[in-house]
């Protein structure tokens, strides 16, 4: 197909139109490097410029967030909402509060979310938002004032059939409560405009657990496909927030041994294993006392703390990066491969750099990419939207079955599109990208030029 643009032409255009947005370039390249070979003999996707259109957000909203701290100082942050693509449903995706937040990071997350949400099989488009606000060290009252001010602008751009935000780094139950309360006050409406809500006001059971549990289910399915299981495996986990703690919990349920958890200051290594009681202690430390992971070593003497380091050098069978983007670089992947790692399931979004992904694939490590492996969270968000729309609540057992089935459905789609001719290996990166792409692309073709 000589007259079609090559991936290099396409990426040159993406870089020219989005200067300096390195995380966005990385995410677009990661997806298009598997989509371009797939569409080489499918001219309709070229003719209608589908990749170029998905890689250009429908719109980006940027706004000032002014608030007052406890000392009376006026503080100014920058808020964002990237509405990437609503071809298959309302924009859907989390809100991140972290000082590193910028347009590049939110555009990469909104782009990824579009493919992830497609993979779930539920009718959700892709979006992401956030602010460069640091909740760490702030009082509850300061966080509340920030969330209210953030919503004072965001409310006009969202709605249960328009755009449905949720949590992400720095945004959990507390922040969702403040934002939902303000949205309700501004609009006089009570609808499922946010997910991850408290159970008292329209939230869904198992939403907090869903991302971490889903990442472990995805690993379980990858292992099952080669006749193996999590039981008895040594596992290294990064992060100690929502995704990491519930991933750790499910690993323990499945008979695996969790050796590490981390935060942005360092990691803990507990040779005795981080069991359910210890995990509950960490959940309390992080969500109620808002403490640091280093405090674990005062409580549990079997552990060591490694300041300023990540856990990837600890020998293990399975790895679950659950903190943030680009937390596994090539030397980390090489160390893990040398130590005999069998599988990696990405709980975080894009935690593995591109060259590290290639190293894992080259070494035939089972590699579950984020848009497949961490889709459990947004899936239960989708189920929260369904419950809200129908004014009902489902029981925990039903939701557990739905989540487990959705994760297996995603794994099946990866098998369908990720097979490597002539080998038994599955390229889950290719499988997830192509399966996610096809549904969105075909919907866009149906709409014509819009």
Is residue 47 part of the annotated active site? The answer reads: no
Interface with ligand NDP in residues 378-407 (CB under 6 A): none
Q: Phi/psi at 327 (nearest 5 deg)?
A: -95, -10
Pick the closer one to ligand 2IT by CB: 93 or 343.
93
**Pick from 82, 164, 322, 403: which binds ligand NDP (CB under 6 A)?**
322
Q: b/e for 62-95, b at 16 or more Cβ within 10 A?
A: ebebebeeeeeeeeebebbbbbbbbbbbbbbbbb
Helix/strand/coil percentages in the chain, nearest 5? 50, 15, 35
Site for ligand NDP in 420-439 (CB under 6 A): none
Instruction: Determine if 317 is a binding residue for ligand 2IT (CB under 6 A).
Output: no
Q: How many helices (H) and strands (E) does the chain have?
A: 17, 12
114 sits near ligand NDP (criterion: CB under 6 A): no
Binding of residue 168 to ligand 2IT (CB under 6 A): yes
Candidate residues 87, 252, 328, 348; the one interacting with ligand NDP per rule CB under 6 A = 348
What SS3 class is residue 268?
strand
| Residue of this chain nearest to ligand 2IT (CB atom) | 94
> Using the rule CB under 6 A, is 242 a contact of ligand 2IT?
no
User: In the complex, what is the shortest distance from the CB of residue 290 to ligand 2IT, in angstroms, rounded to a whole number?
Assistant: 20
Q: What is the DSSP letter of 341?
A: -
State yes or no: residue 243 binds ligand NDP (CB under 6 A): yes
Positions 91 through 110 that interact with ligand 2IT (CB under 6 A):
92-94
Minimum CB distance to ligand 2IT, residue 379 (Å): 8
Which residue's beta carbon is nearest to the bound ligand NDP?
241
Among 84, 182, 349, 352, binds ligand 2IT (CB under 6 A): 349
CB proximity list for 334: less than 8 A, separation 6 or greater: 359
Which conformational region is residue 93 in: left (phi greater than 0), alpha (psi within -120 to 50 degrees), or beta?
left
Rounded Cα–Cα distance for residues 193 and 157 (Å): 11
Q: For residue 221, what are the contacts with CB-CB under 8 A and spacing of at least 6?
A: 407, 408, 411
Name the 3-class secondary structure at 361: helix
Q: Among residues 143 and 176, whose Cβ is nearest to ligand 2IT?
A: 176
Tell me the CB-side half-sphere exposure of residue 177, using CA atoms within 13 A.
Answer: 11
Catalytic residue among 92, 107, 116, 128: 128
* 34 or 195: CB nearest ligand 2IT: 195
Rounded CA gap, 333 and 336, in Å?
A: 5
Q: Does 283 bind ligand 2IT (CB under 6 A)?
A: no
The sign of the CA dihedral 358, 324, 52, 426 is positive
214 binds ligand 2IT (CB under 6 A): no
Q: Is there binding between residue 166 and ligand 2IT (CB under 6 A)?
A: yes
Rg (CA), the chain: 21
Cα 152 from chain centroid? 26
Q: Is 347 in the site for ligand NDP (CB under 6 A)?
A: yes
Please identify, using beta-carbon distances, which residue of 170 and 311 lies nearer to ligand 2IT: 170
Between 165 and 256, name the residue whose CB sits nearer to ligand 2IT.
165
225 binds, among ligand 2IT, ligand NDP, none (CB under 5 to 8 A by kind): none
Contacts of 158 (CB under 8 A, 6+ apart): 81, 164, 165, 183, 193, 194
Tell me which residue of 9, 393, 38 sits closest to 206, measured CA to CA: 393
Count the site residues for ligand 2IT by CB under 6 A: 12
Question: Rounded to the nearest whole angstrom, what is the least distance from the CB of residue 184 to ligand 2IT in the complex?
Answer: 19
Smallest gap from Cβ 321 to ligand NDP, in A, equals 9
Beta bridge partners of 95: 129
Q: Which of 34, 84, 85, 195 binds ligand 2IT (CB under 6 A)?
A: 195
Q: Is 368 near ligand NDP (CB under 6 A)?
A: no
Is there binding between residue 349 and ligand NDP (CB under 6 A)?
Answer: yes
Least Å from the CB of residue 243 to ligand 2IT: 9
Nearest to 235 by CA among 351, 318, 328: 318
Q: What residue ranges bind ligand 2IT (CB under 6 A)?
A: 92-94, 113, 116, 166, 168, 195, 349, 377-378, 381
Q: What residue ranges bind ligand NDP (CB under 6 A)?
A: 167-170, 172, 211, 239-244, 263-265, 322-324, 347-349, 374, 377
Q: Which residues are catalytic?
A: 128
């Amino acid at each position: 197909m000589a007259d079609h643009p090559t991936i290099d032409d396409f990426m040159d255009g993406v870089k020219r139109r989005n200067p300096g947005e390195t995380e966005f370039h990385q995410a677009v390249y990661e997806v298009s490097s598997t989509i371009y070979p797939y569409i080489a003999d499918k001219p309709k996707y070229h003719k209608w410029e589908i990749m170029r259109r998905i890689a250009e957000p429908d719109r980006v909203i940027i706004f000032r967030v002014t608030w007052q701290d406890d000392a009376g100082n006026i503080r100014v942050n920058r808020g964002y909402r990237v509405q990437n693509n609503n071809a298959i449903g309302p924009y859907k995706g989390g809100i991140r509060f972290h000082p590193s937040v910028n347009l590049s990071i939110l555009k990469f997350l909104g782009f990824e979310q579009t493919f992830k949400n497609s993979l779930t099989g539920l009718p959700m488009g892709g979006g992401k938002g956030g602010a460069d606000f640091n909740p760490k060290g702030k009082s509850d009252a300061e966080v509340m004032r920030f969330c209210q001010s953030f919503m004072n602008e965001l409310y006009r751009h969202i709605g249960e059939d328009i755009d449905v935000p949720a949590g992400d780094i720095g945004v959990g139950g507390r922040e969702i409560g403040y934002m939902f309360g303000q949205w309700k006050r501004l609009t006089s409406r009570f609808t499922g405009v946010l997910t991850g809500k408290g159970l008292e006001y329209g939230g869904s059971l198992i939403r907090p657990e869903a991302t971490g549990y889903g990442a472990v289910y995805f690993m379980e399915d990858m292992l099952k496909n080669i006749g193996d299981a999590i039981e008895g495996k040594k596992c290294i986990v990064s992060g100690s927030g929502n995704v990491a703690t519930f991933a750790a919990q499910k690993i323990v349920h499945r008979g695996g041994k969790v050796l590490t958890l981390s935060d942005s200051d360092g990691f803990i290594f507990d040779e005795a294993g981080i069991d359910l009681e210890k995990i509950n202690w960490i959940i309390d430390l992080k969500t109620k006392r808002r403490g640091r992971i280093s405090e674990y070593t005062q409580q549990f003497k079997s552990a060591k703390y490694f300041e300023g380091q990540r856990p990837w050098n600890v020998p293990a069978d399975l790895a679950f990066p659950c903190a943030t983007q680009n937390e596994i670089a090539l030397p980390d992947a090489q160390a893990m491969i040398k130590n005999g790692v069998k599988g990696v399931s990405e709980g975080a979004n894009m935690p593995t750099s591109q060259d590290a992904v290639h190293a894992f694939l080259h070494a035939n490590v089972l590699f579950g990419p984020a848009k497949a492996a961490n889709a459990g969270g947004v899936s239960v968000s989708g189920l929260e939207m369904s419950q809200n729309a129908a004014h009902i609540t489902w029981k925990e057992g039903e939701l557990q079955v739905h989540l487990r089935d959705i994760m297996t459905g995603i794994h099946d789609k990866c098998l369908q599109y990720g097979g490597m001719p002539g080998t038994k290996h599955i390229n889950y990166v290719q499988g997830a990208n192509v399966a996610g792409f096809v549904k969105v692309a075909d919907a866009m073709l149906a709409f014509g030029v819009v």
